[in-house]
Amino acid sequence: GIQVEQSPPDLILQEGANSTLRCNFSDSVNNLQWFHQNPWGQLINLFYIPSGTKQNGRLSATTVATERYSLLYISSSQTTDSGVYFCAVRYYTSGTYKYIFGTGTRLKV
Amino acid sequence: GAGVSQSPRYKVAKRGQDVALRCDPISGHVSLFWYQQALGQGPEFLTYFQNEAQLDKSGLPSDRFFAERPEGSVSTLKIQRTQQEDSAVYLCASSLSGGGRNEQFFGPGTRLTVL
């Protein structure tokens, strides 16, 4: 099946710093989402981004589907950005769609 | 409500007990998903409904796990004869259209602890 790997696995930032999180996937995908799982466990939607670039405040994301990666940019990080960031993909295999989460990046600001 | 809700938020069960976890998706959402998240891991897919039809249950770990969505809205995940390895957070998500083509919105989860 498809592999979805995220890097770095762990990241520590000073408040105000910028960072880039990466999501690599091993095969074609139909859609891709970025989530932030806060310290209370809630998964918060950041971006639905099967391709292209989107921005929302201090966050932006780019997916290059043909090269099988997506990037999440966090600028001017704040303590509330702490938590785990997941990418999740939907892909087609064996006559059905499957859903898989990446390995996650744990961020501490 | 405005978002996906789940109940109970916390459940403690003795090994061998049956449990039932409830998910209320966003009103009008066709697709509903269940995931299991073990401590320190990412969510793992369990099953998918399009309206009342369970189209994919390939992620259910054993025949002790059963899910239903009889009227195409509320869903229940049932675990029979719980084991310690079932301890995890169970997450429910919904999306607007069939096939999961749109973004998924997650509930707060139910944390199950099996003693």
Is 60 exceeded by the pLDDT of residue B92?
yes
Confidence at residue B112, expressed as pLDDT on a 0 to 100 scale: 98
When comparing pLDDT for B59 and B101, which is higher?
B59
Is 90 exceeded by the pLDDT of residue B2?
no
**Mean pLDDT, rounded, of chain B:** 94
Which residue in chain B has the smallest CA separation from A43? B106
CA distances from B2 to A4, A39, B29 (A): 31, 22, 12
Confidence at residue A93, expressed as pLDDT on a 0 to 100 scale: 83
Is 80 exceeded by the pLDDT of residue B101?
no
Confidence at residue A6, expressed as pLDDT on a 0 to 100 scale: 98
Subunit contact B45:A33, Cβ cutoff 8 A? no
Is 90 exceeded by the pLDDT of residue A1?
no
Strands B88-95 vs B75-79: parallel, antiparallel or unpaired: unpaired
At A88, list the tokens. Answer: 């999740």
Subunit contact A96:B56, Cβ cutoff 8 A? yes
Helices (H) and strands (E) in chain A, counts: 0, 11
> Each residue of B45-89: pLDDT tens digit?
999 999 999 999 999 999 999 999 999 999 999 999 999 999 999
Confidence at residue B7, expressed as pLDDT on a 0 to 100 scale: 97
Is 60 exceeded by the pLDDT of residue B1?
no
> Each residue of A27-83: pLDDT tens digit?
999 899 999 999 889 999 999 999 999 999 999 999 999 999 999 999 999 999 999
Q: Would you say B75 and B101 are in contact if contact means Cβ atoms under 8 Å apart?
A: no
| Look-up of token digits 């998924």 | B104
- The A residues from 75 to 94 touching B (CB cutoff 8 Å) are 86, 88, 90
Is 90 exceeded by the pLDDT of residue B98?
no
Residue B75 β-bridge partners: B23
- Shortest distance, CA B52 to any CA of chain A (angstroms): 17
Per residue in A62-87, is it b (16+ CB within 10 Å) or e — as a string? bbebeebbbbbebeebeeebbbbbbb
At B67, list the tokens. Answer: 């899910």
- The A residues from 43 to 62 touching B (CB cutoff 8 Å) are 43, 45, 48
Q: Which of A5, A29, A99 to mutate to test the interface with B (most CBs of B within 10 A)?
A: A99
